[in-house]
Amino acid sequence: MTRNAGILLLVVLGLTPVRAQEETSYLDIVKTEHKLAGLFTKLYNPENIGDKTPVYDSIKWMFYEVLKDPASFDFPWHELDMIGKMKSDDQALNVYSWYHMVNREKYHYVTLLQVKDRRDRIHVFMLEDTDSDLNDSRELEQDLENWHGKLYYQLITKRYRRENYYTLLGIDFNNSQSTLKAVEMITIRRNGTPVFEKNGFMLADGSKNRVIFQYSGKLAMSLRYNKRLNQIVFDHLVPLHPIYTGNYQFYGPDGSYDGLAFEDGVWVLRTDVDARND
């Protein structure tokens, strides 16, 4: 064997275990995805009326563990079509969110935040809801251990002064009387830890930690990011009759729209937004 051939053989032999390890890791993720898909089917099967808490617990810990694998960061999770799956525009954050309906008056929520830091290390954080009542609590602080549960369904990435801001839109089915929707914003510290931003929203009554909408459980409300307008656009809610002012289970859209525009690192309220063509 020539010297060059020997060097080439050593290189190939050195790469083989790495490739084998990557392939094994990918196959393990595929197997886990299939198991998770089966568990989600059980969780959301209306014919299965027993206690689904064990299924719910199995999902969150199985999903949490597999997301620690770096190979899972860009995995598409096509089989998991019953949950919220979002990736930030800067490819640094994945958000996976789902819920468990205990009964019509009580829901549990879980969100997994998968972060890739500046050194390409993967960090996974689990948000589990507390039993506290969110309602119109726009000023209460949230952190990784104290989170008001909701199902996140849209992730918006904005940048200001070399800092990325991640805004999450979510829904809390609350109970049979009312539904809530929320707008919240997080940033990622250098060590990869997510932090809920304080005073990230400038509303008519001052600076708030989040935006909360509560309305009748019998009605629907639109809350989405509008790319054309470059704003978060939402239905303007009003009481169905003046006597219900402050009683949010009797609130609903009046046909007009308001918005939030991102300015200097803060979402600022804009009223009477023209979103008729959207």
Residue 277: is its pLDDT beyond 70?
no
Q: Which residues touch 160 (CB under 8 Å, ≥6 apart)? A: 262, 264, 265
Burial label, 233 (beta-carbon count in 10 A; 0-12, 13-18, 19+):
buried
Query: Distance between CA 154 and CA 233 in Å, rounded?
Result: 13
Average pLDDT over residues 150-156: 97
Q: Which residues touch 194 (CB under 8 Å, ≥6 apart)? A: 93, 113, 115, 125, 144, 186, 187, 188
* Confidence band of 131 (pLDDT split at 50, 70, 90): low
Backbone torsions φ then ψ of 131, nearest 5 degrees: -90, 10
pLDDT score for 7: 43
Residue 5: is its pLDDT beyond 90?
no
Average pLDDT over residues 159-169: 96
Burial label, 114 (beta-carbon count in 10 A; 0-12, 13-18, 19+):
buried
223-226 and 122-128 as β-strands: parallel, antiparallel, unpaired?
unpaired
Average pLDDT over residues 109-126: 96
Contact predicate 162/87, CB 8 Å? no
Count Cα neighbours of 222 within 13 Å in the Cβ-side half-sphere.
18
- Between 139 and 217, the higher pLDDT residue: 217
pLDDT score for 6: 47
Which token pair is 148?
């008001």
* Confidence band of 11 (pLDDT split at 50, 70, 90): very low
- Between 242 and 190, the higher pLDDT residue: 242
Residue 169: is its pLDDT beyond 50?
yes
pLDDT in tens, 80-106: 999 999 999 999 999 999 999 988 888
Query: Distance between CA 188 and CA 197 in Å, rounded?
Result: 10
Query: Distance between CA 235 and CA 220 in Å, rounded?
Result: 9
Contact predicate 69/29, CB 8 Å? yes
pLDDT score for 132: 57
* Confidence band of 12 (pLDDT split at 50, 70, 90): very low
* Confidence band of 49 (pLDDT split at 50, 70, 90): confident
Residue 133: is its pLDDT beyond 80?
no
β-bridge mates for residue 266, sequence order: 263
* Confidence band of 171 (pLDDT split at 50, 70, 90): very high
Residue 54: is its pLDDT beyond 80?
yes
Residue 165: is its pLDDT beyond 70?
yes
Average pLDDT over residues 155-177: 95
What is the value of pTM for the model shown? 0.89
Residue 215: is its pLDDT beyond 50?
yes
pLDDT in tens, 237-249: 999 999 999 999 9
Query: Distance between CA 183 and CA 148 in Å, rounded?
Result: 12
